[in-house]
A and B are shown apart, each in its own frame.
Chain A
Amino acid sequence: MKAIVNVFLKNGVLDSQGKAVQHALSGHGFGTVSDVRVGKQIIIEMNESDATSAKAKVAQMCEDLLANTVIEDYQIEIQA
Chain B
Amino acid sequence: MKTKVGIIQFPGTNCEYDTQNAFQALGCETFILWHKEDTLPQGIDLLVVAGGFSYGDYLRSGAIAKMSPIMKAVKSYADKGGKVLGICNGFQVLTECGLLPGALKRNEGLHFISRHHHLKVVTTNNTFLQKCTVNDVVNIPIAHHDGNFYIDAHGLKNLYANDQVLLHYTDETGNISNPNGSVDSIAGICNLSKNVFGLMPHPERAMEALLGSDDGCRMLEGFLSA
Contacts and interface: CB of A to CB of B under 8 A. Distances in A.
Contacts of A54: none
Contact of B108 (A9, A14, A68): A14
B150 A65 contact: no
A41 interface: no
B157 to A, nearest CB: 16
A70 interface: yes
Contact of B105 (A13, A20, A64, A66): A13
Contacts of A66: 59
A45 B122 CA distance: 48
A70 B110 contact: no
A68 B60 contact: yes
B67 A65 contact: yes
B interface: dominant SS: loop
Interface in A16-51: 16-17, 20
A33 B108 CA distance: 21
A76 B67 CA distance: 22
Contact of A16 (B64, B103, B110, B151): B110
B interface residue count range (under 10 / 10 to 19 / 20 to 34 / 35 or more): 20 to 34
A66 B181 CA distance: 24
A68 B63 CA distance: 8
A68 B107 CA distance: 17
Contact of A20 (B60, B66, B96, B110): B110
A1 interface: no
Contacts of B107: 16
Interface in B56-78: 59-60, 63-64, 66-67
Given A13-B105, A14-B108, A14-B181, A70 B150 contact: yes
A71 interface: yes
A70 B60 CA distance: 13
Contacts of B82: none
